């Protein structure tokens, strides 16, 4: 009655149906490669004090064609205020790891000299979920094929949007949070570009909008023009260069060359290489020439310090502990670092820096006014940083027009005053506000303000987030602006918000039951389908045994197994060209100040006229190869 071909087709269809059905089951082999929250959960972090904070870490793919994966490290907030908030933190470079922020600035832990971890008094995870991301691809623990590094800011923003879409799919409980983006230095370009991409995405039909509530940028490289032309005034103000001296004359000559390049089209660029020479010359002129001082120069990230000829490349000192800690095998395993990441962690990746020229990218200053029309922005500056100094930021603000006014003008002829800020009885800095922009100056602080003053920056964060512990209980911090305390903030030592905690627990419980309910529905459908298929199979088999069909025998069973192709589940292909070199154990002995290939995402140490050079581009002016980069 039935031919051999028809039996074969029926058998193949049955096997295909069974496999398709089984693939719907949770935990099936077909779903083995789809990661869940559990795959990212950090069960143990070497050296961390107990109890362990709740955290997740690992890689998310953003470029399947080139094996591009971004690494994230997420900490759940310790307490909930009146609503859930998530802060995305990014360091700069470009190409410097956000583990700087996680381990030396705003994260919950600091690395001790004995290689263990201690709590950071003033970490930002008190009332906000913290999300650190190593980006662009190739930075820190992130990776990509070595011929596929990014070169433009819109590429970076596109990757970050894809990352966030996948991250929120993995962690849907955070998708409705108030969302903030914070960072420092070259993140002054990253953050506005990502924010613009988010706002553009939110306007698309059919997408769930993300609740972007604000941006915080510390010592930001936002307006290249204003920063380049602020180096010399900053040097004069701080006594690094004496006006009228031969040193001043040499710096002024370099500045004149920069002005010419800016007028010839450099104003439209994120980087103008010849302008990097202004700071190079200043650092060279600050060198102490006597042999006993080992040719020391000013630390470009903290002018209160002097350094050897690297001029700050070995700073901050915590790098001596952080680098070996992040290269430990037990730490790498705990953070779920993919085996595809072949090289040990490094603070800044020179290869990423070298490729990320942003030649066709729009400087963030161009559209910062558009962002201010939609979200509040806080800019903050440590007053002892030279590389992205406060003079440049203030000049940028004074020249910028946004929300119906120019600079901090409140009305024609009336300017917002600077308000003195004291914290725990000490002068901490100044606040100035107008039309959705807040500007904070931190006294006696470096390029990495949270490294110097974690408690003060936490106070700034809580004010920006709108956290008021007067509504939830706790001991208020001694923080006063212009004689007034304003919203009550707290830096540690407070109880949970009972109401908020209960609301969050209820949300998680409902989400859990919905997940179980959906799983039950799927399982029921699967059981019905399998039963129908199996019943049909048995019925047809009995028909064959009753003479309607010849017996298949062992050959039929063998073809069934072959058709299922079970051995295919054991096959995996490795992607080629992940990184140029395998992990080298000798890297563990590298000093933190040493960077691969002689590059650093920090600005290069002044050694000659092309100190900041990453190589001359064919379309750059001859002799203008200084391509500096903002640190962290």
Q: Is 332 helix (H, G, I), strand (E, B) or coil?
A: helix
Band (343; pLDDT cuts 50, 70, 90): confident
Structure tokens at 308: 């050897």
Which one of 97, 142, 185, 625 is the catalytic residue? 185
Which one of 134, 385, 459, 462 is the catalytic residue? 385
Q: What is the pLDDT of residue 34?
A: 84
Q: What is the DSSP letter of 48?
A: P
Going by C-beta distance under 8 Å and a sequence separation of 6 or more, which residues neighbour residue 235?
241, 251, 282, 386
Q: Please tell me the distance from the alpha carbon of residue 372 to that of residue 565, in angstroms, as a whole number.
A: 58
Structure tokens at 580: 């140029």
Q: Can 190 be counted among the known catalytic residues?
A: no
Q: Give the best-scoring range by mean pLDDT among 5-14, 138-147, 598-607.
A: 138-147
Nearest residue to 408 via CA among 444, 379, 451: 379
Task: Kindly report, residue by residue over 147-161, the tens digit of the pLDDT.
Answer: 899 999 999 999 999
Going by C-beta distance under 8 Å and a sequence separation of 6 or more, which residues neighbour residue 361?
152, 153, 154, 189, 193, 270
Both ends of the chain: CA-CA distance in Å?
A: 76
Q: Can 3 be counted among the known catalytic residues?
A: no
Structure tokens at 194: 């990502």
Nearest residue to 481 via CA among 434, 443, 437, 440: 440
Per CATH, the homologous superfamily of domain 41-224+358-496 is Alpha/Beta hydrolase fold, catalytic domain (3.40.50.1820)
Q: What is the DSSP letter of 294?
A: T
> At residue 4, does pLDDT exceed 60?
no
> At residue 513, does pLDDT exceed 80?
no
Q: Please tell me the distance from the alpha carbon of residue 257 to that of residue 278, in angstroms, as a whole number.
A: 9
Q: What is the pLDDT of residue 144?
A: 96
Q: What is the pLDDT of residue 342?
A: 81
Q: Is 423 helix (H, G, I), strand (E, B) or coil?
A: strand
Band (339; pLDDT cuts 50, 70, 90): confident
Structure tokens at 480: 């006063």
Q: What is the pLDDT of residue 22?
A: 46
Q: Is 552 exposed, middle or buried (0-12, 13-18, 19+ CB in 10 A)?
A: middle
Q: Is 178 exposed, middle or buried (0-12, 13-18, 19+ CB in 10 A)?
A: middle
606, 256, 632, 60 alpha-carbon torsion, rounded to 10°: -120
Q: Please tell me the distance from the alpha carbon of residue 34 to that of residue 170, in angstroms, as a whole number.
A: 10
Structure tokens at 622: 């001859």
Q: Please tell me the distance from the alpha carbon of residue 608 to that of residue 566, in angstroms, as a whole number.
A: 63
* Enclosing H/E stretch for 541: helix 498-543
Task: Kindly report, residue by residue over 263-291, the tens digit of the pLDDT.
Answer: 999 999 999 999 999 999 999 999 986 65
Q: What is the pLDDT of residue 622?
A: 34
Structure tokens at 280: 């190079």
Averaged over 83-103, what is the pLDDT? 98
| φ and ψ of 106, to 5 deg | -105, -5
Q: Please tell me the distance from the alpha carbon of residue 353 to that of residue 372, in angstroms, as a whole number.
A: 29
> At residue 603, does pLDDT exceed 50?
no
Q: What is the pLDDT of residue 586?
A: 37
Q: Please tell me the distance from the alpha carbon of residue 518 to that of residue 373, in angstroms, as a whole number.
A: 42
Nearest residue to 350 via CA among 631, 64, 91: 631
Place of tokens 């970490």: 123
Q: Please tell me the distance from the alpha carbon of residue 31 to that of residue 23, in angstroms, as a whole number.
A: 7
Averaged over 566-588, what is the pLDDT? 37
Q: Is 410 helix (H, G, I), strand (E, B) or coil?
A: strand
Task: Kindly report, residue by residue over 159-189, the tens digit of the pLDDT.
Answer: 999 999 999 999 999 999 999 999 999 999 9
Task: Kindly report, residue by residue over 361-409, the tens digit of the pLDDT.
Answer: 999 999 999 999 999 999 999 999 999 999 999 999 999 999 999 999 9
Q: Can 98 be counted among the known catalytic residues?
A: no
**Stronger pLDDT, 528 or 7, i.e. the higher one:** 528
Is 69:137 a contact under the CB 8 Å cutoff? yes
Band (88; pLDDT cuts 50, 70, 90): very high
Q: What is the pLDDT of residue 631?
A: 54
Which one of 59, 79, 390, 447 is the catalytic residue? 447
**Torsion sign over Cα 595, 601, 602, 606:** positive
> At residue 514, does pLDDT exceed 60?
no
Averaged over 240-251, what is the pLDDT? 97
Is 98:135 a contact under the CB 8 Å cutoff? yes
Nearest residue to 128 via CA among 85, 168, 88: 85
**Domain-by-domain residue ranges, the chain?**
4-33+503-566, 41-224+358-496
């Amino acid at each position: 009655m039935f031919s051999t071909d028809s039996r074969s087709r029926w058998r193949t269809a049955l096997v295909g149906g069974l496999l398709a059905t089984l693939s719907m089951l949770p935990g099936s082999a077909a779903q083995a490669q789809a990661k869940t929250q559990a795959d990212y959960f950090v069960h143990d972090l070497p050296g961390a004090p107990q109890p362990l904070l709740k955290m997740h870490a690992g890689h998310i793919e953003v470029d399947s064609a080139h094996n591009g994966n971004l690494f994230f490290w997420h900490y759940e907030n310790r307490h909930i205020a009146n609503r859930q908030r998530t802060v995305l933190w990014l360091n700069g470079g470009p190409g410097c790891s956000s583990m700087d922020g996680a381990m030396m600035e705003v994260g919950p832990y600091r690395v001790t000299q004995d290689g263990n971890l201690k709590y950071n008094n003033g970490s930002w995870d008190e009332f906000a979920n913290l999300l650190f991301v190593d980006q662009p691809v190739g930075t820190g623990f992130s990776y990509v094929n070595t011929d596929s590094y990014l070169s433009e800011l819109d590429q970076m923003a596109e990757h970050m949007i894809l990352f966030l879409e996948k991250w929120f799919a993995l962690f849907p409980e955070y998708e409705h949070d108030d969302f903030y983006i914070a960072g420092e230095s070259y993140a002054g370009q990253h953050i506005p570009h990502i924010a613009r991409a988010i706002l553009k995405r939110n306007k698309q039909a059919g997408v769930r909008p993300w609740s972007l509530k604000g941006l915080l940028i510390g010592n930001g490289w936002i307006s290249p023009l204003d920063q380049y032309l602020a180096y010399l005034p900053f040097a004069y103000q701080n006594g690094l260069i004496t006006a009228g001296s031969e040193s001043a004359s040499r710096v002024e000559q370099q500045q004149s060359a920069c002005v010419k390049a800016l007028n010839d089209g450099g104003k439209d660029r994120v980087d103008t290489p010849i302008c990097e020479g202004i700071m190079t010359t200043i650092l060279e002129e600050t060198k102490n020439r006597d042999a006993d001082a080992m040719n020391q120069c000013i630390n470009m990230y903290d002018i209160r310090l002097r350094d050897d000829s690297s001029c700050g490349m070995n700073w901050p000192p915590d790098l001596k502990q952080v680098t070996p800690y992040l290269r430990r095998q037990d730490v790498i395993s705990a953070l779920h670092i993919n085996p595809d990441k072949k090289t040990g962690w490094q603070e800044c990746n020179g290869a990423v820096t070298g490729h990320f020229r942003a030649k066709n990218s729009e400087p963030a200053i161009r559209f910062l006014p558009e962002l201010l029309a939609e979200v509040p922005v806080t800019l903050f500056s440590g007053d002892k940083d030279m590389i992205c100094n406060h003079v440049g930021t203030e000049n940028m603000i004074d020249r910028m027009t946004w929300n119906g006014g120019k600079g901090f003008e409140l009305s024609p002829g009336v300017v917002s005053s600077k308000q003195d800020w004291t914290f725990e009885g000490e002068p901490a800095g100044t606040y100035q506000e107008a039309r959705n922009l807040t500007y904070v100056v931190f006294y006696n602080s470096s390029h990495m303000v949270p490294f110097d003053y974690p408690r003060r920056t936490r106070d700034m964060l809580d004010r920006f987030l709108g956290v008021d512990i007067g509504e939830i209980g706790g001991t208020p911090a001694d923080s006063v602006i212009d004689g007034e305390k304003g919203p009550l903030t707290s830096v540690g030592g407070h109880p949970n918000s009972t109401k908020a905690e209960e609301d969050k627990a209820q949300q998680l419980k409902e989400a859990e039951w919905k997940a179980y309910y959906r799983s039950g529905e799927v399982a029921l459908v699967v059981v019905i389908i399998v039963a129908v298929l199996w019943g049909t199979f048995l019925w047809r088999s009995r028909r064959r045994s009753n003479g309607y069909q010849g017996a298949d025998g062992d050959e039929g069973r063998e073809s069934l197994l072959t058709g299922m192709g079970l051995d295919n589940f054991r096959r995996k292909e490795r992607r080629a060209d992940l990184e140029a070199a395998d992990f080298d154990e000798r890297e563990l002995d590298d000093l933190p100040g040493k960077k691969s290939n002689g590059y650093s995402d920090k600005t290069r140490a002044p050694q000659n006229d092309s100190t900041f050079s990453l190589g001359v581009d064919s379309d750059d002016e001859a002799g203008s190869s200084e391509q500096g980069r903002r640190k962290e």
